[in-house]
Structure 1
Amino acid sequence: MLDTTARNTLPLAPGVGYKPQHFTDILESPGPVRWLEIHAENYMGDGGRPIAQIRHLAERFPISVHGVGLSIGGEAPLDPDHLARLARLVGWLNPASFSEHLAWSTHDTEFLNDLLPLPYTEETLARVCSHIDQVQEALGRQMLLENPSTYLAFAESAMSETDFLREIARRTGCGLLLDVNNVFVATTNQQTDPNAYIAEFPLDLVGEIHLGGHDEQVDEYGDPLLIDSHGTEVVDPVWKLYAETISLMGPRPTLIEWDTDVPDWSVLAAEADRAATILAPARKAALQ
């Protein structure tokens, strides 16, 4: 039977994506950071410094594992070797959470270094649910599924993204990871309302929130084109959308993602502190 109870719990506080250059800073001066997230594919080896560091950090901080390589939405079956290595990692680390993306990144024998969008059809829904069932069975625990950052919509989609995610969760028992920056990126690119998206999202199923930076460009028609880059600070409109989201659903564990052009620890800690400031009144209200 699927175990939907976390072995340890992510606190209703900020976390950051762990980068090895911040190892000493995190131990000596974590500031508002109360948990860490790692990308699964970086820790599937048998040993060495990366594994030793995470074992040490896991003694002090809850760890969330975030997958980027399962290709949950891919047409091909899940890679059994990849899934076995993931299960081994989750087995010894015993993280507080595991999550993956509503996306695909494989075609035949090729792996594409991107997280690509899906059409929201009954056929896609059945395939994604089958893959999630397989992952949760292999890991023996509930996973969270993250909403994607998208740059276009498929004409053949038969349902909204929020309805698609809600139905996946209903059929599989998975939870959801709400990436607020992804919402802002996708709705800006598709010229829709981010607040309307949040209002339609099944917020009661959200177990974790992500915040990150994006790059601003323009397309061939001069319209805004946002690229989900995880290489800059969170912009003010995303912070505003995050605050409005927290006001609707209450506090959730919130990750600051910064994966490229990684800054000094003080910059990441400042971003986490901003999240903590927004979470504080919601946490207080939840305790009353």
Structure 2
Amino acid sequence: MPSSRVQLLTGAALAAVVVAGTACSASAAPAAAVTPPPAGAGFDYQIGGAYTPASDVKVVSRDHTAQPAAGRYNICYVNAFQAQPGAEGEWGDLLLRDANGDVVMDEDWGEALLDLRTAAKRESVAAKVNTWVDNCAAKGFQAIEPDNYDSFTRSQGLLSDSDAQAYIRLLSAHAHQKNLAIGQKNTSELAGQRQANGLDFAVAEECGQQKNCGEFTPAFGDHVIVIEYTDAGLRTACDRWGSLSIVRRDHDVVPKGEAGYVRKTC
């Protein structure tokens, strides 16, 4: 979901994350047959509702319940690390709970976090999410955007970055089996582990606003899609990282024609 969730770690905290990521024994290298979104292409973020893309748009991201846009490179959005609001009942014992048995929530979006603490839990969550991935492939999408990779930062210390990486490797391996590219959503502190985690491109929200788009490019090159929600963020992204795919959308990413709709580019 649109947010300011890019977490910046420095000093000892960043070093700890890098060491933990490096220590991951499993690897999910990108599949040779997978094609990431074209670098620097015109982009539209349509996860709040589909509509006809503008003529400059070559890449579109839409929710997994939607159909892909004809003649474009299509990215399929799945909320892979948290439950959609009101969908908690679909997840049973796979919701993350604290010591009191209360479900741990992403308070900003009213979404319950999913429990990724054990291999068995991760495999069960991945089995459900991968049914959506299969549907994306069947519809003709070319890539997957699994949201909330950084849920561990909102987990009250119950989840770790190692849990997140072990889980996303399950998703990337499955996506590649379906000939789908898979993106890293935000979480710039883990960008250096992209190859071990099998990630092919990045989707970075508000990295212009936060002035940290450059934390993705060493790992992903120009295969970074930038989504800004303010004019100031758009200006910064365009001025400093103009070779990337950059768009400004309204915070609720409503379809064109609805009140509040905004789409601007460099």
TM-score class, shorter-chain normalisation, is: 0.5 to 0.7
Instruction: Select the residue among 37, 58, 61 that pairs with 1:62.
Output: 58
Contact 2:224 2:244 in 1 (8 A): no
Match of 1:276, as an amino acid?
A: G
Contact 1:204 1:249 in 2 (8 A): no
In the TM superposition, 1:163-182 aligns within 5 A as 163-173=166-176, 174-180=180-186
Contact 1:99 1:177 in 2 (8 A): no
Match of 1:248, as an amino acid?
A: A
> Cα offset for 1:254?
2.1
Query: CA distance change for structure 1 residues 96 and 162 in 2, over 3 Å: closer, same or farther?
Result: same
In the TM superposition, 1:1-288 aligns within 5 A as 10-13=37-40, 34-43=41-50, 51=51, 54-55=52-53, 57=54, 59-67=55-63, 83=65, 86-87=66-67, 90=68, 93-100=70-77, 101-102=79-80, 103-105=82-84, 106-108=87-89, 114-120=110-116, 121=121, 122-137=123-138, 139-148=139-148, 149-150=150-151, 151-152=154-155, 155=158, 160-173=163-176, 174-180=180-186, 183=187, 194=189, 197-202=190-195, 205-212=199-206, 234-236=209-211, 239=212, 242-258=213-229, 262-263=230-231, 268-276=234-242
Please name the residue that 2:23 is paired with: none
Contact 1:209 1:254 in 2 (8 A): yes
> Looking at both structures, which has the greater relative contact order when contacts are Cα pairs under 8 Å and sequence separation is at least 6?
2
Deviation sequence 1:174-229 (CA, Å, 0-9, x none): 4322233xx15xxxxxxxxx2xx33333365323422316xxxxxxxxxxxxxxxx
Contact 1:176 1:207 in 2 (8 A): yes
Structure (1/2) with the larger helix percentage? 1
Partners in 2 of 1:244 and 1:156 — Cα distance?
23
Equivalent position SS for 1:104: coil
Deviation sequence 1:147-191 (CA, Å, 0-9, x none): 4142116748896211211121212424322233xx15xxxxxxx
Partners in 2 of 1:244 and 1:205 — Cα distance?
15
Partners in 2 of 1:244 and 1:199 — Cα distance?
9
Please name the residue that 1:22 is paired with: none
RMSD, matched Cα: 3.6
Contact 1:177 1:210 in 2 (8 A): no
Partners in 1 of 2:146 and 2:199 — Cα distance?
11
Structure 2: segments with no counterpart, 5+ residues: 1-32, 91-105, 246-266
Higher CA-based Rg: 1
> Cα offset for 1:251?
2.2
Partners in 2 of 1:249 and 1:93 — Cα distance?
27
Please name the residue that 1:286 is paired with: none
Contact 2:181 2:200 in 1 (8 A): yes
Contact 1:119 1:157 in 2 (8 A): no
Please name the residue that 2:254 is paired with: none
Q: State the number of aligned residues.
A: 180
> Cα offset for 1:64?
1.2
Contact 1:98 1:144 in 2 (8 A): yes
